[in-house]
């Protein structure tokens, strides 16, 4: 039987599925440190990760390893140049999380705009004595302008929801999406600068790459409206968190909603000191149904990539399909 590592606690029934095909080494404790992950990968044919960094050193120490299946759509934790050089396949879990993640983007954006978390904390602290005409005034969603940066599958799902709120949708992306999609979403392509200046609510839904590092920093925040909100459901590092703290503190923008952070699960401690930011612990895809779908898809990818199951040799979501069938190097 081929050997696999499951590097994280996941649904036990998915582990049972994997056990039908593999000898499973299941790590259920705290996140494996890099050296421990490398050690546990050394004798494995495949692995299932969820955001764990895998690079050249780990691949070199695991000569049998042929596939690493990430239980996430984002795979910036994989050094894909190293995967390609070693002929190791990486897989991810796109699509199954689009709608849950888009829902959550809206929840965060609305919570930030309407000051839901901030006012709830205030209420819990026993500070509510009387109604006031200017208590927790926020910015409107209905009829406002939504600016989506990153118009992939999740960005499109997010934009689709804007119709019900009678919003104007503008977007920025590496390249324009197909005219039919622009028409369906009633979305107008804009330069990043134009989007930042015009949008009432900016939502980030782009993948993390070196080029996207600090897509939003001090200069970009300075271009936004003082009534605007910024929501990040993409990846830590796309926003310069220190610059954001400053922009929130000085009311350069009204509010922010963050689900992801530079260096998470640790976060810039200053974020905890500004009231006008809603902070959630990377849970945009966290519904029971979606996390189950992601875990099962990650298992499907692993099973198929290691030549087992009904799709043997044809994993549904290869990131670098060009290495399929090539000998490990």
Residues marked as catalytic: 235, 264, 282
* Spatial distance between the Cα atoms of 90 and 317, rounded to a whole number of angstroms: 9
Nearest distance from C-beta of residue 150 to ligand 8YV, angstroms? 12
Tell me which of 51, 105, 147, 318 binds ligand 8YV, using CB under 6 A. Answer: 51
Nearest distance from C-beta of residue 135 to ligand 8YV, angstroms? 35
Closer residue to ligand 8YV, CB minimum distance, 37 or 196: 37
* Spatial distance between the Cα atoms of 228 and 45, rounded to a whole number of angstroms: 49
Contact between residue 75 and residue 31 where contact means Cβ atoms under 8 Å apart: no
Tell me which of 72, 113, 224, 256 binds ligand 8YV, using CB under 6 A. Answer: 72
Interface positions, 281-300, toward ligand 8YV (CB under 6 A)? 285
Nearest distance from C-beta of residue 97 to ligand 8YV, angstroms? 5
* Spatial distance between the Cα atoms of 267 and 285, rounded to a whole number of angstroms: 20
Q: For residue 254, with 0-12 CB atoms within 10 Å meaning exposed, 13-18 middle and 19 or more buried, which class applies?
A: buried
Nearest distance from C-beta of residue 166 to ligand 8YV, angstroms? 29
Tell me which of 4, 50, 58, 319 binds ligand 8YV, using CB under 6 A. Answer: 50
Site size toward ligand 8YV, by CB under 6 A: 8
Interface positions, 79-118, toward ligand 8YV (CB under 6 A)? 97
User: Could you tell me whether strands 67-70 and 187-189 are parallel, antiparallel, or unpaired per DSSP bridges?
Assistant: unpaired
**Counting contacts by CB under 6 A, is residue 319 touching ligand 8YV?**
no
Contact between residue 65 and residue 78 where contact means Cβ atoms under 8 Å apart: no
User: Binding segment for ligand 8YV among 16-24, 67-75, 133-141, 194-202 (CB under 6 A)?
Assistant: 67-75
Q: Which of 70, 72, 14, 13 is nearest to 47 (CA)?
A: 70
Cα separations in angstroms, 47 against 5, 88, 199, 275: 5, 11, 42, 41
- Positions touching ligand 8YV (CB under 6 A) are 50-51, 71-74, 97, 285
């Amino acid at each position: 039987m081929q050997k696999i590592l499951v590097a994280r606690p996941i649904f036990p029934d998915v582990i049972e599925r994997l056990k039908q095909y593999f000898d499973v080494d299941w790590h259920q404790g705290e996140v494996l440190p890099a050296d421990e992950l490398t050690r546990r990968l050394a004798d494995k044919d495949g692995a299932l990760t969820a955001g764990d960094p895998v690079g050249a050193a780990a691949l070199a120490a695991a000569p049998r390893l042929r596939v690493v299946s990430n239980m996430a759509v984002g795979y910036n934790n994989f050094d894909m140049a190293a995967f390609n050089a070693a002929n190791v396949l990486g897989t991810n879990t796109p699509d199954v999380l689009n709608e849950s993640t888009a829902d959550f983007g809206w929840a965060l954006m609305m919570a930030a705009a309407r000051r839901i978390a901030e006012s709830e904390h205030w209420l819990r602290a026993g500070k509510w004595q009387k109604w006031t005409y200017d208590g927790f005034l926020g910015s409107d969603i209905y009829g406002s302008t939504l600016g989506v940066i990153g118009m992939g599958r999740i960005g499109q799902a997010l934009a689709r929801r804007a119709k019900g709120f009678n919003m104007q949708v503008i977007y920025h992306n590496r390249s324009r999406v197909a005219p039919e999609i622009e028409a369906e979403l009633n979305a107008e392509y804009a330069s990043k600068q134009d989007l930042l200046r015009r949008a009432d609510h900016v939502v980030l839904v782009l993948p993390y790459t070196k080029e996207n590092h600090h897509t939003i920093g001090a200069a970009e925040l300075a271009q936004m409206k003082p009534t605007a909100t910024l929501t990040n459901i993409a990846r830590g590092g796309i926003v310069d968190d220190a610059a954001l703290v400053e922009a929130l503190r000085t009311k350069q923008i009204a509010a922010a909603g963050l689900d992801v952070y530079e260096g998470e699960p640790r976060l810039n401690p200053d974020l905890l000191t500004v009231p006008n930011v809603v902070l959630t612990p990377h849970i945009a895809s966290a519904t029971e149904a979606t996390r189950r779908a992601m875990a099962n898809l990650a298992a499907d990818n692993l099973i198929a990539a290691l030549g087992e199951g009904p799709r043997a040799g044809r994993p549904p979501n290869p990131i670098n399909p060009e290495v399929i069938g090539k000998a490990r190097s």
